[in-house]
Structure 1
Amino acid sequence: MGSWARRRPLKDVPEESPSAPVLSEAPHLSPGARITAEDEENPRVQQYSGELSPKSGLRRLSKPETEEKPLHDLQYAAPYSVVYPPNAADFATPPVPAQNFSAPPPGTPGAAPLPSDAALYRQRSAAGRQKSRRCGFFWVIPLIVVACVTLFIITMYENDCPHQSPHVSCIATWLGRLAFQPWSENPLLGPAADTLLRMGGLQSSAIRHGGGWRLLSCMWLHGGVFHLLVNMLGLLVVGVRLEKDFGAVRLIVLYFLSGVGGSLMSALFLTNVISVGASGALFGLLGATLADLLTNWTIYTSKVASLLSLLILIAVNLAFGLTPQVDNFCHLGGLATGFLLGFVLFVKPQFSWLYRDYAAEPALPYMHVDPPKMRKHKTYQYVLQVVAALVFLALFTAAFIAVFTGVDANKECSWCHYLSCVKTPLWNCDGVGGKQVTCDVTTYTNGTGTVGCADGRQTWVPNFPTQTQAQLQSICVRECS
């Protein structure tokens, strides 16, 4: 309510006004005389008292005698809001800013509902990633998919089945140079093994002879249409969520290091096999997702169900890798690399730190309570981060040295070949895990040749003089195992 009255002569006060108090007539009052202003029709205007100044004006009026309200009847007001008195237009006073009372703690009647965990984490993230998540924008995974599909088309063009293998029945010859190799040679609808090797496929002997770049190039190649579709679908399902949650930079680091980790393990155990595919990097994303769930346990809901679902998914994919023609060592290497990097790269703030703005505060403005100190990360998160980083650096360095020095890991681990292939009545595992496959090579004067297996099967090889020793070994392993 207003506590100051404007100075003006008494003669300027209207005698009767429905919206203003009527002053009693006192034309001959001396200085110091008291007057009163009352308005019985307006209950908001209570009795005011004041003294006449020597200049026949009103001096400062005293505060109205209003009834004090108990403090517990005060309502919480949002900061920066303005509270106006009833019918403020009747008064010449400015609006009164609201007191900046503390918001009620969670659980108090009238308190705002707590936001979800995911929303809180987005609020605490970097500004760039906040904008990306709000817009739903992601680009790394789609770019990887486009690159893999493009390179597969280029590989099929270079394969040129109708001209490179004129004595075999190519599949989908109407595609011209893009026609696929026969079912008996490549059941995945793809190119020949020697084409994959020329395009950058992984082979241990090629790495030791200046082909270190194959550790990266092999993750962009695929053995067939089915192989490509499965990997790209997995990338979209797993990778998009990780990119939205952790940003493009960390996803790129995880993807490439996981792919290289899978290539290193494959080169150590599958020395005579050509390996291609993005499955090592894909398993790295699965391993990082598992590490994310474990190290950020308090952030997620339905933790146990999510953990079991993820473990079952990983187990099923690893079990599928026990069949021939599938490089399960690459899967295991990528999975281990991604799991370790997940503890390093994918650490989120803890639940209590996310809710620090909603911590209990005094309900009354005159009370003072020091807010509790909250740590952004738990101690175990820091421990896991440091330990995982050290283990990753040690294993990665050791694998690099072993691959480039020609170490055959199968000699150090006689049972490890069972991690990639298990023999059943439906297939054998020759050529896997260091097992040697014997082939007889026959050359002809017309520039062709054949590769004969121990069971009597023979495979025709075009342009035999141009075939390298590594290519002949891959043909022998592929056809006779």
Structure 2
Amino acid sequence: MGALRQNFLEENHHTWRLFTCIGLHAGLIHLIINLGSVIFVGIHLEQVFGPLRTGIIYILSAFVGSLAAALFITNSPAVGSSGALFGLLGAMLSGVLRDWNVYTHKLAAISFLFFVSTINFAVGLLPYVNNFSSIGGLISGFLLGFVLLFTPEVKPLVHNKAGLYEYSTKSSVKSKLKLDRPIIRGVCLILFVVVLLGSLGAVLGGINVNQYCKWCKYIDCIPSKRWSCNDITANCETMVSNSQMTLTCMGNGNFRVFPYTNISQARMKDLCTLLC
């Protein structure tokens, strides 16, 4: 109900799914891992760079991740909620690299980023979790990190309470940040705008990268005996009686009775997809 799918986006022009897929998860495990990672990473970023800049990176990375997922879209439902998380991870990485001399726990931060990214990317190899959304969000967050996270909010912190971004004194941080890098910020801003507008134009133009890259699908889903990475062909038989509607998937025989009959064709296709 709102996930990305090729026939809905290209044939029915449901562009609103680019926004709804951001808030969807492919099950309870995906939800717990994703939200837990977002909260933990977001705390560290807000602690040093403030909620405003962190929120901007979160929202823009989620949207760019959604666009990246749409560029590699298949006829199987896909959710792109991980784009926002990987945007924060990319911003955290750029913040560490940019202000390398400021923070005392550099190796711990890099190790943490690698660990969280690996777990979430592995989850993305399962069906319905779109890894291209994660890649798009990571690129977006990394570029926006260089644009927005150029100066930490220097304020006194309790010793050993600054986490991965612990620093000593206000004066030492200011002295290390005297030489700003406006050129890097400008270049990264231009690159982000190019990525955003280029991806948006390609999606609205109906470009599907899978037509030119046959092996790219294995980045998003690895075939297994327990699930299939093939496109889903949803074909259902509809039976209406009194105030009930029965949908039966012609492919696997699954059926469900719904206590209503007056629904749109798009909603009926969504329900059929869930059954099949």
Q: Which TM-score band (shorter chain)?
A: 0.7 to 0.9
Aligned amino acid, residue 179 of structure 2:
H
Alignment of 1:287-302 (within 5 A): 287-302=90-105
Equivalent residue number for residue 179 of structure 2:
377
Equivalent residue number for residue 442 of structure 1:
237
Equivalent residue number for residue 459 of structure 1:
254
1:399 aligns with 2:199: yes
Q: Check the 8 A contact 1:410/1:416 in 2, yes or no.
A: yes
Alignment of 1:10-21 (within 5 A): none
Distance in structure 2 (CA, Å) of the matches to 1:468 and 1:401: 28
Distance in structure 2 (CA, Å) of the matches to 1:265 and 1:375: 34
Equivalent residue number for residue 158 of structure 2:
none
> Cα distance 1:346–1:421, how it changes in 2: closer, same or farther (>3 A)?
same
Distance in structure 1 (CA, Å) of the matches to 2:210 and 2:200: 16
Unaligned residue ranges in structure 2 (runs of 5+): 153-166
Displacement, 1:479? 5.0
Equivalent residue number for residue 228 of structure 2:
428
Displacement, 1:204? 5.1
Q: Check the 8 A contact 1:207/1:404 in 2, yes or no.
A: no
Displacement, 1:461? 4.5
> Cα distance 1:439–1:296, how it changes in 2: closer, same or farther (>3 A)?
same
Q: Check the 8 A contact 2:80/2:130 in 1, yes or no.
A: no
Displacement, 1:385? 2.1
Distance in structure 1 (CA, Å) of the matches to 2:13 and 2:38: 30
CA deviation string 1:451-471 (max 9, x = no partner)? 122xxx212144577352575
Aligned amino acid, residue 200 of structure 2:
F
Distance in structure 1 (CA, Å) of the matches to 2:195 and 2:174: 42
CA deviation string 1:354-379 (max 9, x = no partner)? 54998xxxxxxxxxxxxxxx87235x
Displacement, 1:396? 0.9
Identity of aligned residues (%): 35
Distance in structure 1 (CA, Å) of the matches to 2:25 and 2:173: 49
1:409 aligns with 2:206: no
Distance in structure 1 (CA, Å) of the matches to 2:194 and 2:128: 30
Q: Check the 8 A contact 1:274/1:474 in 2, yes or no.
A: no
> Cα distance 1:407–1:213, how it changes in 2: closer, same or farther (>3 A)?
same
CA deviation string 1:241-300 (max 9, x = no partner)? 211211122112111101101111112212434444632211111111111111111111
Q: Check the 8 A contact 2:6/2:75 in 1, yes or no.
A: yes
Alignment of 1:263-412 (within 5 A): 263-276=66-79, 278-348=81-151, 354-355=171-172, 376-377=178-179, 381-412=181-212
Q: Secondary structure of the equivalent of 2:178?
A: coil
> Cα distance 1:239–1:451, how it changes in 2: closer, same or farther (>3 A)?
same
Equivalent residue number for residue 217 of structure 1:
20
- Structure having greater relative contact order (Cα 8 Å, sep ≥ 6): 2
Q: Check the 8 A contact 1:328/1:419 in 2, yes or no.
A: yes
Displacement, 1:227? 3.8
Q: Check the 8 A contact 1:262/1:332 in 2, yes or no.
A: yes
Q: Check the 8 A contact 2:4/2:70 in 1, yes or no.
A: yes
Aligned amino acid, residue 441 of structure 1:
C
CA deviation string 1:166-209 (max 9, x = no partner)? xxxxxxxxxxxxxxxxxxxxxxxxxxxxxx33xxx444554565
Equivalent residue number for residue 472 of structure 1:
269
Q: Check the 8 A contact 1:272/1:474 in 2, yes or no.
A: no
Q: Secondary structure of the equivalent of 1:450?
A: strand
Equivalent residue number for residue 246 of structure 1:
49
Structure of larger gyration radius: 1
The count of residues paired between Structure 1 and Structure 2 equals 254
Distance in structure 1 (CA, Å) of the matches to 2:119 and 2:24: 23
Q: Secondary structure of the equivalent of 1:448?
A: strand
Distance in structure 2 (CA, Å) of the matches to 1:307 and 1:404: 36
Distance in structure 2 (CA, Å) of the matches to 1:332 and 1:356: 32
Distance in structure 1 (CA, Å) of the matches to 2:67 and 2:173: 44
Distance in structure 1 (CA, Å) of the matches to 2:223 and 2:246: 34
Unaligned residue ranges in structure 1 (runs of 5+): 1-195, 359-373, 432-436
Alignment of 1:59-70 (within 5 A): none
CA deviation string 1:59-104 (max 9, x = no partner)? xxxxxxxxxxxxxxxxxxxxxxxxxxxxxxxxxxxxxxxxxxxxxx
> Cα distance 1:394–1:471, how it changes in 2: closer, same or farther (>3 A)?
farther
Q: Check the 8 A contact 1:266/1:330 in 2, yes or no.
A: yes
> Cα distance 1:348–1:397, how it changes in 2: closer, same or farther (>3 A)?
same
Q: Check the 8 A contact 2:125/2:220 in 1, yes or no.
A: yes
> Cα distance 1:459–1:237, how it changes in 2: closer, same or farther (>3 A)?
same
Displacement, 1:309? 3.2
Q: What TM-score do you get using the length of structure 2 for normalisation?
A: 0.77
Displacement, 1:397? 0.6
Alignment of 1:22-171 (within 5 A): none
> Cα distance 1:405–1:471, how it changes in 2: closer, same or farther (>3 A)?
farther
Higher helix share: 2
Equivalent residue number for residue 5 of structure 1:
none
Q: What TM-score do you get using the length of structure 1 for normalisation?
A: 0.47
